[in-house]
Amino acid sequence: MPWLWFGLKPALRVWAEPWQARIQEQLRAVEAVEIGSDCFIAPQARIFAEPKRPIVLGDRVSVGAEAFLHGPITLGDDVSVNPRVSMDGGRAGIRVGAGTRIATGAMIYAFDHGMDPAAEMRTQPVRSRGIEIGRDVWIAAGVGITDGVRIGDHAVVAMGAVVTRDVPDWAIVAGVPARVIGKRSDQGDRRSQDSGSNSSSGG
């Protein structure tokens, strides 16, 4: 798992760093790929970039096995992309803020097809408005995020949700389509209150 990389003991780092450097060297040979320092990219990850569709990874980014990334995508520092995540930036791109976690199997697509009933689906125009995900966000397993969406800083998207419209800062959203069910900014106070109630009832 990607997070194991950052916890390696020095003796194992001596073995692992040259192996990881070879993987990243192959990716850096592609003109449109930029990789920051101390990143981890699983050898089974599939990363595709091309002119005008770059992939930019900040420092300490991890990309898990069988993740699929097609630019334009920019991942800020300390972003983790878990196994089997699928991200396609379309034309407008995907931007992910620092410290965000994207769990296994999430699907993030910054493009969409037309649905004109007078035309077959294969001939429909493709449009792309882009996706922006803020910093310190948790995208849980199996989440879908559609084109044109902005997810605010510190938000949480629950497992299996499909996000079709903007998510405010600190919001917790769930469901299909996703809707606000709470605020992450309230969670610390709630834990403190629960702890206090338990102490009182037990005393």
- The catalytic residue positions are 113
Classify residue 61 as exposed, middle or buried by CB count within 10 Å of its CB (0-12, 13-18, 19+): buried
Closest CA to 94 of 53, 123, 64, 61: 53
Number of H helices, E strands in the chain: 3, 22
Alpha-carbon distances, residue 124 vs 1, 12, 102, 117, 128 (angstroms): 39, 51, 30, 10, 13
Say if residues 185 and 154 touch (Cβ distance below 8 Å).
yes
